[in-house]
Chain A
Amino acid sequence: MCQACGCSLKADVAREELDHQRGRTTVVDVLQDLLAANDRVAAHNREHFDEHGVLAINLMSSPGAGKTALLEATITALRERYRIAVIEGDLETDNDAVRIRALGVPALQITTGTACHLDAQLVHRALHDLPLSGLDLLFIENVGNLVCPASFDLGQHRNVTLLSVTEGDDKPEKYPVIFRASDLVVLSKADLLGVLDDFDPARAAAALRALGRDTPMIQTASRRVPALAPWLSWLEEQLAERRAVVTAELA
């Protein structure tokens, strides 16, 4: 039976006949991702990054989890060895870009107005004002939000999601889409674990693993340099991996 209008014609015949059946209503079967246009621009962004051998990292979290503080600490630790730039996404103000620029690193602020996430087009526009040549590492600090940023590919190579220990350890269970899309989960403000009795890192890790991924989870404390070691070594691994891919493609 025809699935479109319930008439007794076979489906393939029915489609041809629909004009008559339904007063010239034509049924068009489409199977296209709704975000195909965004994904095309994201792929284009990725080409830009790859062309310049830049590792692009999309940093996501809820507001206040410490994305900018982590970037400040990271830049301070790595700026002698790597050339870093940052794209900042916020609803309003360029406060975060000002903080990054104060460290001598180029930072481009995207103010999204009411939009709760960055998309590939916004990042693409920003890339026109941000020279990629000579860069090793580009951080894209997404708008603080655990829901919307997860759906939009920006062209990044890696997704990193911060979960601060002042939030609930059940966040991966509550926001499966974003945590499932993550390549690394950073438990930030981990220096506070000693005074918080309601955040159990093991519970957070179990909730993350329940999403069917072997996503690594590390702890950081941006105010304490030694506590950054696992994060910095993860970054350097990704940089080395990226560099190997780019070199192999050139060869």
Chain B
Amino acid sequence: MHELSVCQALLRQVTDIAMDRGADVVEHITIEAGPLSGVEPALLVRAFGILRASSRATAQALLSIESPAVIIRCTSCGMESPTAPNRLVCSRCGDFRTRVVAGDELRLRRVELRIPESSNRKTPCAKPVVAA
């Protein structure tokens, strides 16, 4: 059940962002966890139910998990097609040299925060944060 570790990492990222923005409450967290990420959404939701209480800001937060379907692109014939996580060969030409273009992501997408009136935010608006 490595979802506990993944959830800890998630909450650390989220509380960092909340702190950076001067928010006191995290309302909603959206992540992407594709079938090839190795993370089981149902287990992550359970871990989140336990771990969100570890900070006051996240205690009432909701978690949404988007699970994009696996899509591969064949490097030989260029065919792009949705497929099962354990069938990553090209459905048209049968070549195994494919690239996963979706379905292996494991990332934080969006957080919704409540920022108190008195807070001195570092940034004046909700600018998108680009991953380092």
B107 interface neighbour in A16, A32, A210, A213, Cβ under 8 Å: A32
The reply on B15 being an interface residue by CB < 8 A is no
How does the 8 Å CB contact mask read for A1-44 relative to B, with 1 for contact and 0 for none? 00010000000000110110011111111111111111000000
The reply on A53 being an interface residue by CB < 8 A is no
The reply on B108 being an interface residue by CB < 8 A is yes
If over half of A's interface residues share one DSSP class (helix, strand or loop), that class is named, otherwise mixed; here it is mixed
Which of A83-91, A129-137, A173-181 forms part of the interface with chain B?
A173-181
Would you list which residues of chain B between 88 and 132 have a CB under 8 Å from chain A? 88-89, 96-98, 100, 106-115, 117, 125-126, 128-132
B85 interface neighbour in A30, A150, A176, A209, Cβ under 8 Å: A176
Alpha-carbon separation in the docked complex, A32 to B17 (Å): 11
Would you list which residues of chain A between 147 and 163 have a CB under 8 Å from chain B? 147-148, 150-152
Q: Which residues of A contact B38 (CB under 8 A)?
A: 147-148, 150-151, 177-178
Smallest CB separation, A151 vs chain B (Å)? 4
Smallest CB separation, B37 vs chain A (Å)? 7
CB–CB A18/B37 < 8 A: no
Q: Which residues of B contact A27 (CB under 8 A)?
A: 110-113, 126
CB–CB B88/A210 < 8 A: yes
Smallest CB separation, B124 vs chain A (Å)? 9
Q: Which residues of B contact A38 (CB under 8 A)?
A: 9
What is the total number of residues of chain B having a CB less than 8 Å from a CB of chain A? 45
Q: Which residues of A contact B110 (CB under 8 A)?
A: 27-30
CB–CB A212/B98 < 8 A: yes
Would you list which residues of chain B between 45 and 102 have a CB under 8 Å from chain A? 72, 85-89, 96-98, 100
Q: Which residues of B contact A25 (CB under 8 A)?
A: 27, 112-114
Smallest CB separation, B65 vs chain A (Å)? 11
A26 interface neighbour in B2, B107, B113, Cβ under 8 Å: B113
Q: Which residues of B contact A244 (CB under 8 A)?
A: none
Alpha-carbon separation in the docked complex, A15 to B126 (Å): 7
Chain B minimum-CB-distance residue to A211: B88
B88 interface neighbour in A31, A37, A212, Cβ under 8 Å: A212
Would you list which residues of chain A between 196 and 222 have a CB under 8 Å from chain B? 207, 209-214
How does the 8 Å CB contact mask read for A85-129 relative to B, with 1 for contact and 0 for none? 000000000000000000000000000000111010000000000
Chain B minimum-CB-distance residue to A31: B131
Alpha-carbon separation in the docked complex, A34 to B3 (Å): 11
Q: Which residues of A contact B111 (CB under 8 A)?
A: 27-28, 30
B9 interface neighbour in A23, A37, A116, A211, Cβ under 8 Å: A37
Q: Which residues of B contact A28 (CB under 8 A)?
A: 17, 21, 110-113, 126, 128-129
Alpha-carbon separation in the docked complex, A30 to B13 (Å): 10
CB–CB B106/A151 < 8 A: yes
Alpha-carbon separation in the docked complex, A15 to B27 (Å): 16
B2 interface neighbour in A33, A36, A116, Cβ under 8 Å: A116
A-B contact pairs, 12 of them (CB 8 A): A27-B111, A29-B109, A31-B129, A34-B6, A34-B108, A35-B6, A36-B9, A36-B132, A116-B2, A150-B38, A152-B5, A210-B87
Known: A27-B126, A30-B107, A211-B86. 17 other contacts (CB 8 A): A16-B125, A23-B114, A26-B23, A26-B112, A28-B21, A29-B129, A30-B13, A30-B131, A32-B108, A32-B131, A34-B31, A35-B106, A117-B2, A150-B38, A151-B39, A176-B86, A180-B36
8 smallest beta-carbon distances between A and B, as pairs = A212-B88, A148-B2, A32-B131, A177-B38, A29-B128, A151-B38, A176-B86, A212-B98
